[in-house]
Amino acid sequence: MRAVVQRVTQASVTVAGQVVGETARGLLVLIGVEAGDSEKDAAYIADKVAGLRVFEDDAGKMNLALTDVDGGILAVSQFTLLGDARGGRRPSFITAERPEAADALYRKVVAAWRARSIPVGTGVFRAEMQVHAVNDGPVTILLDSRKLF
């Protein structure tokens, strides 16, 4: 499972002109599920994101996690994170999980954050979405449950 995590001052996702999910200060998390991912991968991503110390403390150091700053998450499923463009100019998505299984694991990640009382807004799985974000810093972290990078 892969995730792109951006520290944001605000983020929202729109479907058909309607805002369906948003957060103020917090994290925008784009999530891609890879074929063969399991609940273990979902737990890894959920735990890692919840504990990332990417918010500044009083000394200006990134020492604080999401819960330390009362932040929220906007979670957006994005299979294109599994795109492989090494062999040409058109990305291949053959390593992306099938939609039904991907949606189930994506929901496990979201449920894990909500179980920690983290406010979570979401996109709409498989919908055409517009994501708007104000990246803070900018701070962007790449995560992979298989630790490929």
* Torsion angle (degrees, nearest 10) of CA 127, 128, 134, 139: 70
Reply yes or no on whether 78 is catalytic. yes
pLDDT band at 16 (very low <50, low <70, confident <90, very high): very high
Quickly state the pLDDT bin for 142 (edges 50, 70, 90): very high
pLDDT over 70, % of the chain: 100
Q: From the candidates 9, 80, 95, 130, give the one annotated as an active-site residue.
A: 80
- Whether residue 149 is predicted with pLDDT greater than 80 in this model: the reply is no
Active site residue 149: no
In a 10 Å sphere around its CB, with 0-12 CB exposed, 13-18 middle and 19+ buried, how is residue 42 labelled? Answer: buried
pLDDT at 39 over 90: yes
Cβ atoms of 33 and 48 closer than 8 Å? no
pLDDT at 127: 94
Which position among 14, 23, 78, 122 bears the catalytic label? Answer: 78
What pLDDT score was predicted for residue 44?
98
Q: β-pairing, 72-77 with 2-15?
A: unpaired
Catalytic residue from among 6, 55, 79, 122: 79
- 2-144: CATH topology is D-tyrosyl-trna(Tyr) Deacylase; Chain: A; (3.50.80)
Is 6 a catalytic site residue? no
Beta bridge partners of 56: 62
Q: What's the predicted TM-score (pTM) here?
A: 0.96
